[in-house]
Structure 1
Amino acid sequence: MSDTTRTLRAAGAPVPALPPAAARWLAGAALVTATAVLAVLLARATDGLPHVLPGYARWQDEAYAGVPQFLRWWIGDATEPQFFKSAPGGIAMIAGGWLAHTAARRGRRWAGFPLACGSGLWPWLLYSAVLGLLLSDLAWGWTIPATGRWQPTFVPFVSVPPAVVLVYGAGWSVAVTGAVLGAALATPAALVVTNFFCLPLHLPNVIGCVTGMWAGALLAFLICRHLPWMPGPLPAARTGEPSATVPGRGGFGAGWVVRRVLADFTEAQFYGNELASAGLIGATVVVYLLNPLTPVYGSTLLPALLTAQVLAGTLGVLLYHRRWAALGWYPTFVPVVSLAPAVVLTYGGTVQAVVAGAVCGAVAGPPLAALISRRLPADFHPFIGNVASMAVCTLVAVPLLGLLPGFASTL
């Protein structure tokens, strides 16, 4: 406590409140510090613990061995955007989304940020995304045992199907159309780029995944214009971005920063909600404690990866706070699900990898995403700009970081 503060309190005078900007940055610093401490504790807690769950290698080998194994793989695909690959995480995320959706419909204040871009279409978004993921795994899952490697079958869950629903609205014709287009266009595009570009050039797979998303979405929305059973785009299609214009009683202050960083973990799934994110992260951490070789593709890098993601999200929210306040939404989640974790998986869980990936992603990712999205046609969902930004930032930053001392690729 400063001498000035002591003097004011002794005199009974009101003590000036902490400036909002300082409060936000202190809240961000506290969040990052707490995550780093948790990461250290997680890394130490697993020493000597029995591996209750099977490791990732066995999980992948058995993915198509039977119905239970397939269902586990399919549900785990729902968490691929965060690089978690966690079936319990997928279940907990969807359960958190359902809880938030139900709470919002009943007017509960604890419901958190609105799901599905504040459209009320979350159930239909979920139906289309789940169906698209199922079709993708059934149609393209053979590539996993055929190559003996991971493949981007998860792509429709976070791209074309939910985006089509958000642009064209509710109904089975829209949901099924989005699901089919996602599995037929986005997944094969991601497979081609991942296997014939990323793999031979030793680049992160996320480049292939998000390239499949934006390329498949461009084709899908062009096709939707000519499908006779599709309704016209919703009036709010051009602003089909998460509605977070009402920050709550505390305004866009310290508490909002923490909530927003947490919610950004599930923006890739078009949830953008704290309850869904808490379920996703909490269940994945439990999986890590049961066997650190299960989540994040058996790399044991969950603690470092989670730290990089929180740091990237926090820096993005703090740096572009004015954009949030002015526009109601800004794509600060972009580095959380692309460059930050990609750098950790490429160069290991070192301090320099965690910090460099987070900082580069937080600075460059959101404004590039916003720039691209503003130039899309009215009936093309703005998520296309987000994933295009992920592709560009990762493609540029990861090789450049490899030229610096202390960055040795593990790919």
Structure 2
Amino acid sequence: MSTKRRVGIIFGGKSAEHEVSLQSAKNIVDAIDPEKYNVTLLGIDKDGKWHINDQSHYLLNEENPKLIQLNKSNEHVAIVPGETNQQLINASGEVSLEQLDVIFPIVHGTLGEDGSLQGMLRLANIPYVGTNVLGSALCMDKDIAKRLLKDAGINVAKSITVKRREKEALNFQNIKEKIGLPFFIKPANQGSSVGVSKVNTEQEFKQGMEDAFTYDHKVLLEENIDGRELECSVLGNDDPVASLPGEILPQGDFYSYETKYIDESGALLEAPANLADDEIKNIKETAVHAFKALECEGMARVDFFMQKDGTLVLNEINTLPGFTKISMYPKLWEISGIPYSELIDRLIELAIDRHEQDAQLKSSID
């Protein structure tokens, strides 16, 4: 009888980060130890349909980030909430799938790291890797995250939050006076720099607002922080620990989507970053503090700017960071002494441990 854990990897999704998720899934599949795990691949296409994929041909153009695609199958998945042994069924034949011990969701962006997928997996009573529903939702919304981080005493950039109904009343000159030039326009609930633009002129402002509102109903106008771009990986549940920090050295105007995931020469990644011991200590402690303040669990990547005087400004927390070839989250753990395959082991164990703790909670009144 096999003692391997049965791991489901969910990837793809309806978000603008679909292709990034495919790259992340490929790297996890390549790194996961086949002696320890039996893997079931569950790919979500851009229409939201779930596919049961064969590991030998689940991706098309897998070596080209610009052309990578999900290879759709003829077998689809449905969720059965409340069941203990038949949470997932093959919707094409109404046959139960082999019960999974844990899910590794690597669906970046909307409906993947905003708490939606996490809530569904909790309803289905399946352990899952990563932050819980609340922490996922908090970190995904940059506006809400900033408010909570400020309340926790953590520095964040000055910003203005704009809802769709408010955008016509905006005055470029007033914004310029409040947060200066240049400034950034960001959809509040997107990651990977999707929909982000840097603004120096009123025309760029108008175009940037149009672009950002195609991705979200809420947008942030955020001051430009002149400083080094530093990232730190955090791992754990009740007692999280932080990796050595790394530094992003963009070769373009800013660390864009193209730079992060398409152009491997678009940015230099210095890992570990060239920092003094006290600076490393400050970054690691602040990363863990922010992780706890936003109710994170499992994993997160915490992104900072360090100004010339050494002041740290927290940019954002990503609860489902990329696992692509050039992603910082696994790279930083590797230089901190945890190789890729062991990192996957730890994330899975954290997921199962949390699920077992949740199972001890009472759900009825005696």
Compute the TM-score of the two structures, normalised by the length of structure 1.
Answer: 0.24
Answer 1 or 2: which has greater strand percent. Answer: 2
Answer 1 or 2: which has greater helix percent. Answer: 1
- Structure with the greater relative contact order (CA < 8 A, sep ≥ 6): 1 or 2? 1
